[in-house]
Amino acid sequence: MTEVSQRPRTAESAAGIVAEFFDRYRAHDVEGMTDLCSINAGFFYVPVELWGKQRVLRGDGKVRTIGKPLWGGLITAFPDLSNTVHAITSNDDGDVVAQVDIEGTQQLAWGLITPAGRHYLEPHLFIFHVGPDLLIDSITAYWNDAGISQQLGHNEVD
Amino acid sequence: MTSPAVTSTAVTSTAATGTVVTGTAVSSTPTQTVQAFLDAFARHDIDAAMALTDPQVSVTVHPLGLHEAGPDALRQILADLVRGFPDLMITVGQVITTGDVVTALFKAEGTQAADYAGAINQEKHLDIDQAWRFVTGGGVITDVAAYWCQAQLYRRLAVKRYDEIAIA
């Protein structure tokens, strides 16, 4: 269930929501992460694109339909998945920018990458928007997926 | 939250703003500083962009594994892009100011005309979404961290393998 806060939205409270989001991510609490987001929260993982013969699947959509299964899949494939938050900056309009390292050791297939027990650590930049109700209504993330592939021993560009 | 204007005596370039500044103070917010940098980069005016950076600017370009201090690395990054893609077009989608930190989300598009990041020129079209996080201080950029996906870049430039980037 989505959590609704009575606190006013400030730069500090918006940053606090995002810090809590990464705490829950570190605890593999996908339901808890989702509870911090509005029902219709947008989800944009920019590097995610799977090229088929006639279409490209992208990591664009909603937290509940794209984000949640993606987070769950990552945690399944990388059971020790963790994150380190290096910096969070925010403003009173609810914009929050976070520099975060995501890391994990592969135990199951992830996309086209077969598991070889290898570890990856990749810097990510997350851009959140937190609404006046202190719920995250948008998540956008950038990272270098080639870095993850190479660390996991997968050298095909796909 | 809008950051207060800062006073700078470091900016001496005229190209970014069109205003002659000769060692006297100018006022610019973090947003204005970064917007001027992006405008100059979009014009392929690297000197004007670099004039908005601190002499000790910290530069991190994650997809290239680059972490350096000083403007030379940033100048090289910008110059390589313009040389590799002479019709480079920068379309800024969003500029987010959080205190002294300004994050710009933009799309870089262009047609490859020279080797770039190890990829040989096959005249492919590049379109890639990027996020650059700038830290500003004293009216100049003191820290830049660039994020994009090198897998997307190589995919568009028809590179097949990360361990054989120069082989099409």
Q: Edge to edge, what strands does the sheet with B66-69 contain?
A: B66-69, B53-61, B140-147, B125-137, B101-111, B89-98
ipTM entry:
0.94
Tokens describing residue B45: 């005016």
What would the pLDDT profile of B28-44 be if each residue is shown by its tens digit?
999 999 999 999 999 99
Residues in chain B, total: 168
Q: Where are chain B's structural domains?
A: 26-164
Residue B144 has pLDDT above 60, yes or no: yes
Q: Do residue A157 and residue B160 have CB atoms under 8 angstroms apart?
A: yes
What would the pLDDT profile of A3-51 be if each residue is shown by its tens digit?
666 789 999 999 999 999 999 999 999 999 999 999 999 999 999 998 8
What would the pLDDT profile of A72-121 be if each residue is shown by its tens digit?
999 999 999 999 999 999 999 999 999 999 999 999 999 889 999 999 99
Rounded Cα distance between B165 and A19, Å, is 38
Rounded Cα distance between A90 and A127, Å, is 10
Q: Do residue A96 and residue B151 have CB atoms under 8 angstroms apart?
A: no
Q: Do residue A150 and residue B162 have CB atoms under 8 angstroms apart?
A: yes
Tell me which chain B residues have a C-beta less than 8 angstroms from the C-beta of A89: 98-99, 101
Task: Confirm or reject CATH 3.10.450.50 for domain B26-164, answering yes or no.
Answer: yes
Which domains does chain A possess? 11-151 (3.10.450.50)
